[in-house]
Chain A
Amino acid sequence: MHEYATARLLVETVLREAARRSAKSVTEVHLVIGNLTFLSTEQLQSSYDLIAKGTPVEGSRLIVKENEGVVECDGCGYHGPLNTFNDASFLFIIPSLCCPQCGNTAKIVAGRECTVTKIRMEV
């Protein structure tokens, strides 16, 4: 599961930044996860807790903010949320790359990231 691999990268990043500042411990890690990724916050949290055990990162809170997907259209210059098409038999909204303005295929410019934005530590 790639939540585990991502959590491992996350713990490595946080440990690196903590070591740079000779931190005693880390209390909070802030993440922005794009809603076009397939990362589950719950699984990421549980993998993170597992990997952080026994390190200065153990016990730190993961605070996750979700980023909406954004597309840009080279055809008409549209920059904004994705189009969606809905099917009543589904409980979720199906994203589409068709530009909401002109219908051409737009490209994704945000929503595929898993970015560490802040680490709170005790030094």
Chain B
Amino acid sequence: MSERRRKIVEAEPTEIYDVELEEDLLQANRDLAEENRRLLARCGVEAIDIMGCIGSGKTTLIHQLVGQLKGRRRIAVFKGDLTTTIDTDIIAKHGVETVQINTGKECHLDANLVRKALAKIDLGRIDLLLIENVGNLICPADFPLGAEKRLVVISVTEGPYMVVKHSRIFMDADTVVINKMDLAEAMKVDADRLEEDVKHVNSNATVVKAICRDGVGIDRVIESLGV
């Protein structure tokens, strides 16, 4: 038998390979938010994402909204916080269903956490969901939750530059509440200027000047949200 030529296969030297993609890492949250939005719409539930700095008055606002609306709306509240149930306990005294979402170390709520919370309540028994986001004017802007409307609370005690320093979160706001108006003079903050700044960033947003602790302006917040 003639000797066949042996063929030797050797490993090729390392090849460089380029993979072209178009994968948006933030899209996953947007997709989940859209799923949440569709689920809420199917169940006839209006959801409001309430954002603002730590101490701006988000919980007080929710407390007032629940107090004024519980007679004619079936309400549930989601409360996002790093830890504790202190604020949830305050809201729960109204007798509305509350779900505490402890984010652990995350600085914002995301659509996945809201989706898990939605699974804990009977959506057939409510028609209004108030979601209190973590106190933060930066990160929540990148993470929609699937709420129909977004409301941002700022207060005069945060100073005169909150809108211009954090303009991006106001781009998504349907309603902006300027809270603690009773302290505007003491703080030397021009609330009209703050309102102008909001309108420069987003002329569609409705601005309401309020004193949430005393219930001042809450009726206008309710009117602006259409709830």
Chain A residues within CB distance 8 Å of chain B: 1-2, 5-6, 9-10, 13, 17, 21, 23-24, 27, 36-39, 85, 87, 90, 94-98, 103-105, 108, 112-123
The digit string for B155-194, where 1 denotes a CB below 8 A from any CB of A, is: 0000000001101100100000000000000000000000
Chain B interface category by residue count: 20 to 34
Is there an interface contact between A112 and B142, defined as CB atoms closer than 8 Å? yes
- Provide 28 A-B residue pairs closer than 8 Å at the C-beta atoms, listed in order of the A residue: A2-B108, A6-B25, A6-B26, A9-B28, A13-B23, A17-B19, A21-B17, A21-B19, A27-B16, A87-B164, A90-B164, A90-B165, A94-B200, A95-B171, A97-B202, A98-B201, A105-B203, A112-B26, A113-B27, A115-B22, A117-B20, A117-B22, A118-B18, A118-B20, A118-B21, A121-B17, A121-B18, A122-B17
B139 within 8 Å of A by Cβ? yes
The listed residue (A2, A97, A112, A115) touching B106 by CB distance below 8 A is A2
How far does the Cβ of B105 sit from chain A's closest Cβ, in whole Å?
A: 8
Q: Is the CB–CB distance between A119 and B21 below 8 Å? A: yes
Set of chain A residues within 8 Å of B203, measured between Cβ atoms: 97-98, 103-105
Among all A-B residue pairs, the 8 with the closest Cβ atoms: A105-B204, A115-B24, A119-B19, A114-B25, A113-B24, A122-B14, A116-B23, A9-B25
A120, B167: Cβ atoms closer than 8 Å: no
Shortest CB-to-CB span from B146 to chain A, Å, is 16
A94 CB contacts on chain B under 8 angstroms: 164, 167, 200-201
Majority secondary structure, B binding face: mixed
B16 near A96 with CB under 8 A, answer no
Q: What 1/0 mask marks residues of chain B from 88 to 103 whose CB sits below 8 Å from any chain A CB?
A: 0000000000000000
Determine whether B15 belongs to the interface, using a CB cutoff of 8 Å to chain A.
yes
In the assembled complex, the Cα of A37 lies from the Cα of B143 at a distance in Å of 10
Q: How far is the CA of A121 from the CA of B22 in the complex (A)?
A: 17
Bound: A118/B20 CA distance, A: 5
B153 → A minimal CB distance (Å): 19
B107 within 8 A of A: yes
Are A105 and B26 touching (Cβ within 8 A)? no
Q: Determine which of A17, A104, A114 lies in contact with B26 in the assembled complex, contact meaning CB atoms within 8 Å.
A: A114
Chain A residue at minimum C-beta to C-beta distance from B19: A119
